[in-house]
A and B are shown apart, each in its own frame.
Chain A
Amino acid sequence: MFLALRELRHAKLRYALISLIMILIAWLVLFVTGLANGLSSDNAASIQYSSVDYLLLSKDGDQKITRSSLSGQSLNDIGKFVQKDDAAPVSIQMSTVENENKKIDVAFFAIDATSFLKPQLVEGKMFSNDRSNEVVVDRSIKEEGLLLGDKIKDELSGKTFTIVGFSKNQTFSHSPVVHMNVKTWSHLGRPYSKETMNAIALKTDKDTADKIERSYSEIEAVEKKQALKGIPGYQEEQGSLLMMIIFLFIIAAFVLAVFFYVITIQKMNQFGVLKAIGAKTGYLAKNILYQVFLLSSVSLLISNGLTYGVSFMLPASLPFVLSPLLALGCSLLFLGVALLGSVLSLYQVAKIDAIEAIGRAA
């Protein structure tokens, strides 16, 4: 790419400015993406990262896990469709616990200690199904100064639990999840009971889920993705961040399109000369695309570096999760948008007539 490289080298300031804009926009895109992702996992990690495929909810619950209520009978019936290991009942209740006069918002999850919903531990041990008042809590609660063996008191029921283990990636509605067995749960009194549950988590395929849904008039099978949207605030949060990201991409496309368009217009006479001395439109177009590709790639590399660099400096309380795969996807999309933005310029170049070079002083 004879022309592209030499032009970049000669007009360093001009192209450095374009790169700077690209770096800033891409940086913002990556950062907001990481933030959206981080908030999502902060909000719903307990479901997002579990191996659940479908959640069985009651039909009157608007596909919201917290509003759903199933009877114990349902679980027995499900045994006809899936293996016992692939179905796990779960009950959820938002609550507030107290430790040394400090109040902490948490989410109670009542599960079978042996089911696939059991949390991954980073410290301590798992509670058993037969001992009551033992709980496993997400490690984010350690920021409140809690340690293994500490006691937390449920404000509503007045019951006290002992923390026997810490789990990771267990949050629900931005609160740490307190996992307990059904026995502990039923001791909390109304509305907590052994006989009802919020949902049954399933590891299964779509066909089986559909079959179950058809067999019971009061039950619906909701896909994990859909169930996440039912978590209070989840959809609103993700929706507004997604809108920002989409707008950033649109802005990037237009800013780059205008930049390259103006530069191309400025060089009309030059392109006319190049065409007159025998350069084909295809050759000139290739040079422009190569320039855009090169500028975007370098800008993206820098903005990825900045994003990851800054993410190390963020306080732990700011949720930021950006997997390399997601960053790569975002970068590729950005590159595509940049190339799309240069289409207008390519059209201009195609339109230029070599004849403009004749009889015209520069």
Chain B
Amino acid sequence: MKAKLYLEKISKVFTDGDHEVTVLDELSLKVNEGEFVAVVGPSGSGKSTFLSISGALLSPSKGRMFINGKDLSKESDDKLNEIRLKNIGFVFQSSNLIPYLTVLDQLILISVLAGKDKQEAEVKANKLLDRLGLSHRVHHYPETLSGGERQRVAIARAWMNDPEILLADEPTASLDAERGREVVQMLSDEVKLRGKAAVMVTHDQRVLDLCDRVLYMEDGKLVENKR
């Protein structure tokens, strides 16, 4: 099977004053088409750093990363920006929607940024929102939505440009158990339906059964089973 995301011996070292902190230590990960992976670990274990590097927001100190077989290690910042826009979808903690855009505009913005046709984007956005059960909320602003609805809009936004992989940063952090499960189920369904890949960083033990694989962050590495 084709690897959508491949991290090859990624290391990240931060300098703190005069001593170095190794956050990621030769971490490797392969996420295949149709796969939904959860990454679990205590705070400060490097989950955010891992997600930032996977999302091309941060460059590793050592190692290479591939998205859909393409090596990103040597790309310029501008190019990375474009890759993020077209190939990576983000779902952030507490959704991070733009407060002054309606639900529909949140999605259309992604197409506008990519320089695509607005009419087409609207059709696509409406379809996505419909599938995620948000068609009655299309013209609402984020402040009038519930937490679960906001997170669903964020998921719809992440899928807008048909990215190869979707990265979710604690998508259930601000939701109750039931809503959290719903949102993760939705993520999982979309990954399967589209033949894409997703990585979710989470604290939430209750939703792990919905994922294909659960990896644990330990000493800067990812391990399959908790020791």
Q: Which A residues lie at the B interface, using CB under 8 A?
A: 2-3, 6-7, 9-11, 269-270, 273-280, 283, 353-355, 357-362
Contact = CB atoms under 8 A, between A and B. Distances in A.
B145 interface: no
A10 B57 contact: no
A4 B95 CA distance: 21
Interface of B: 47-48, 51-52, 55, 57-58, 78, 81-82, 84-86, 90, 92-96, 98-101, 105, 108-110, 112-114, 141, 157, 169, 173-174
B57 A269 contact: no
A200 to B, nearest CB: 68
A284 to B, nearest CB: 10
Given A277-B85, A361-B94, A355 B57 contact: yes
B57 A276 contact: yes
B207 to A, nearest CB: 18
Nearest to B98: A270
Contacts of B112: 2
B113 A273 contact: no
A10 B55 contact: no
Contact of B100 (A7, A273, A276, A280): A7
Nearest to B111: A2
B79 to A, nearest CB: 11
A354 B81 CA distance: 10
Instruction: Please indicate which of the listed interface residues B58, B81, B82 has the most CB atoms of chain A within 10 Å of its own CB.
Output: B81
B55 A358 contact: yes
Contacts of B82: 278
Contact of A359 (B95, B141, B169, B174): B169
A278 B169 contact: no
B90 A276 contact: yes
11 contacts: A3-B98, A3-B109, A6-B105, A277-B157, A278-B81, A279-B85, A357-B90, A357-B96, A358-B48, A361-B173, A362-B94
